[in-house]
Amino acid sequence: MNKSQRVLRSIVSMTTVFVVFSFVFVFVLGANAASTIGTNMSTTGTLTVTPATNSATSVQFQNAASTTYFFANSTNSRIGVGGAPQTVFEVQGTASASYLMTANSLQVAGVASVAYSRFGTGTTGYSSDVDATNDLLITGALEVDGNAFFDGKVGVKGAPFAPLEIQGTASASYFFTTGTLQAGGTFGSATASVAYSRFGIGTTGTPGEIDAANDLLITGSLEVDGKASVAGNFQTSGRFIADTAASHSMVGDMILTSALTVGSTTASAAGGTGYTAQFVGPGTGTASFYFGGGNTATLGTCFQLKSSTGAWIYMRFNQGSTTPTLSTVRCH
């Protein structure tokens, strides 16, 4: 080896030692100080940042205007995007995701923690029913443009005792029910469920007649301002009063199983004992009766009566006679 080669090798060796020494010096003395990397930094391994002490701004990312948009809070183990985090992970501004899944409750428009999911910050008035993460409270309005299905009970302004219960006024263009109709009663009471429809909570006294959904019991009074027609039997356990001046007529038979009193509200005998029918005049006057056929009838008036022996006799009123005649000649 000539002299020039030996000199060149010595220069290279000294330069290498100087570079290595300088790198070690910078790394040892300056690694824990503030450093600036002027070019991109990449790693094919794991990047771990361990601060000397915990703080609310352990790691920050800033834009060119030195505005921080990413925060790592090592004191509370929180991450914030767009602002300092108040929860474990917080995004200030609009965020999007292909799917949103949570193993706990969902809170929208608020940050307070409750046991149930909710939209808004209101609290439930039914803590025994709305108390789990799969229960939902909506403080504001709810609009459903499509179909809605409810497999449980639904209550409006009150706890439900039925599949659908509305506390307050409700209206509908039409009302259809395949079961009975209950008005004026409370669902869930001991007398609420009966086989017939009813207004009120009374029970029928004729279960053989009132026993189906299309039968109706009215516990209170009934007023009909228009016409009313009854195609079947009409039964009443109380008084039947027609208190108008209009005439009343029947096209069928009227059968009474009790005594008949006409002309007064009180019978002439105590309780009507011994009388099948009584015709009482007004006040102290004489009761007047009209028995006759049409204007062209010439057969007169005839009564069919039974004698004391049980035989039929017939009483007639003939023209000019002052007393009726009795005979066995039939009236008809």
Query: 169-178, pLDDT tens digit by residue?
Result: 778 888 888 8
Provide the pairing of β-strand 117-119 with 136-138.
parallel
Residue bearing tokens 């007393």: 323
* Of 258 and 178, more confident: 178
pLDDT over threshold 50, residue 22: no
At 93, the pLDDT band (50, 70, 90 cuts) reads confident
Among candidate residues 178, 179, 204, the one with its CA nearest the CA of residue 191 = 204
CA 232 to chain centroid: 37
User: In the prediction, which pLDDT does 197 show?
Assistant: 92
pLDDT for 23 equals: 44
Nearest-CA neighbor of 180 among 145, 215, 204, 210?
A: 215
Q: Is 29 a residue whose pLDDT tops 60?
A: no
Mean pLDDT of 54-75: 90
Question: Is residue 13 exposed (0-12), middle (13-18) or buried (19+ Cβ within 10 Å)?
Answer: exposed
In the chain, which ranges are continuous DSSP H helix? 3-30
- The confidence score (pLDDT) of residue 131 equals 93
Task: Identify the pLDDT of residue 119.
Answer: 94
Reply yes or no on whether the pLDDT at 321 is more than 90. Answer: no
65-79, 112-126, 259-273: lowest mean pLDDT where?
259-273
* Average pLDDT estimate for 169-192: 76
CB 151 within 8 A of CB 145: no
Lowest mean pLDDT among 2-16, 87-101, 120-134, 317-331: 2-16
Parallel/antiparallel/unpaired status of strands 59-62 and 89-91? unpaired
Global pTM value: 0.46
Share of the chain above pLDDT 70, in %: 79
Highest mean pLDDT: which range of 21-25, 26-30, 42-46 = 42-46
> How does pLDDT run across 101-115, given as a tens digit for each residue?
888 899 888 878 899
Average pLDDT over every residue of 120-142: 92
Q: What pLDDT score does 285 carry?
A: 64
Distance CA 54, CA 74 (A): 5
Report yes or no: 152 and 141 within 8 Å, Cβ to Cβ: no
Exposed/middle/buried for residue 234 (C-beta within 10 Å: 0-12, 13-18, 19+)? exposed
Higher per-residue confidence, 92 vs 163: 92
Q: How far apart are CA 135 and CA 110, in angstroms?
A: 17
- Is the pLDDT at 271 greater than 70? The verdict is no
Dihedral sign, Cα of residue 172, residue 177, residue 183, residue 189: negative
Mean pLDDT of the chain: 79
Q: Give the per-residue pLDDT at 145.
A: 94
302-306 and 78-81 strand pairing: unpaired
What is the per-residue pLDDT for 208?
87
Closest CA to 213 of 167, 185, 172, 182: 182
* Range in 79-88, 123-132, 145-154, 262-271 with the lowest mean pLDDT: 262-271
pLDDT band at 138 (very low <50, low <70, confident <90, very high): very high
Considering the chain, what percentage of its residues have pLDDT values greater than 90? 18
Q: Would you place residue 196 in the very low, low, confident or very high pLDDT band (cuts 50, 70, 90)?
A: very high
pLDDT at 193 over 90: no
Give me the sign of the Cα torsion angle 241, 246, 252, 253: positive
Lowest mean pLDDT among 8-12, 18-22, 85-89: 18-22
For the ranges 121-130, 222-231, 316-325, the one whose mean pLDDT is highest: 121-130
How large is the average pLDDT for residues 248-254? 78
